[in-house]
Amino acid sequence: MTTITVCMGSSCYSKGNSQNAEIIQRFIKNNNLTDTVVVKGSLCSEQCKLGPNIKINDKFFSNVLPETIEGLLERELGINK
């Protein structure tokens, strides 16, 4: 099971994670990953200056913008498009 953790602290949320969370959910559904990927939120990843931040399993990603997140998900989840 893959876990994607989206920082929902005020800084990351306002910098784009509000949109990223929606994009991630849609990506998982559109790629039939609902049985293998779980998404959860966290209050703060304590890396506010680097945000918006997400984690995929234990791998930390910073400056994840809504316009780049799908490419990151494709790469990290092994989706070939």
d(CA 71, CA 81): 10
Predicted confidence (pLDDT) per residue in 27-57, tens digit: 999 999 999 999 999 999 899 999 999 999 9
State the pLDDT at residue 40. 97
**What's the whole-model pTM score?**
0.94
The SS3 assignment for 17 reads helix
Architecture of domain 2-76: 3-Layer(aba) Sandwich (3.40)
Query: Which of 19, 23, 6 lies closest to 60 in space, CA to CA?
Result: 6
- Domains of the chain, residue spans: 2-76
Contacts 24+ apart (CB under 8 A), 28-37: 31/77, 31/79, 33/2, 33/77, 36/1, 36/2, 37/1, 37/2, 37/3, 37/4, 37/77
